[in-house]
Structure 1
Amino acid sequence: MERIYKYSYLSIIFILAIYMLSGCTPMRPPAIHTYDDSIENYRYFYISATGDYTSSSRVYGNQYGVYGGTTKSINPATLISGILFKNGFIQVNEVSPNNAKETMIVNFGETGRRNVNLGYSI
């Protein structure tokens, strides 16, 4: 009987170790494409609308027997706009010919899915 408990504890530890290792993957650095102009030459920015991105985490149980999870949602365009606002840029709804040379166009995208250990990362 002691042998069964010993193997069950080892298997649980092994499964938890694999689960933790597959969830701790570093992100790839973002690809930033710049041109000859300096960012100081711009006063305005235009950012295209993006949809919300949602992530969730599950809690399987704790000492109180609680099961559940959390869900977080973010809009990348709002996040990028906030950073640019803090740096003194002005957001415009469209690029007009009057201020086209002072307006930078900001886009958001994601790369494909890559397999990491037992999971994946986008």
Structure 2
Amino acid sequence: MAKDGQLPALARTGIAGLDNILNGGLTPDRMYLIEGTPGTGKTTLGLGFLLAGAAVGEAGLYITLAETEVELRAVAETHGWSLDSAQPVRDGPRRRLWRGSRTDAAPPERGRARRDDLAR
């Protein structure tokens, strides 16, 4: 709650129909997990949310283990969005992103993480 006792302004998702269903957007300062099968709009929602935040001066971070910068830019383009102001940050080859915390989990073949390995 804001210092004056008022509820904080909702964070727009960047998707007008979803904002309407949510009565204006998401409650700020919360963590949201978006899950779904391929093609359900997770990337669209994530990019839309970040772009809506950027439009009001907020910083954002998009972390992906599967999509390339080219793929993300293509998704944005299909919605008429521009990622020209986005600055990609890379942690090097994807194999560096794999972190095994279980002793029975062996690194994936050729050092590349498969989605099944990351979900464990």
The TM-score with structure 1 as length reference comes to 0.24
Q: Which has the larger radius of gyration?
A: 1
Bigger RCO (CA 8 Å, 6+ sep): 1
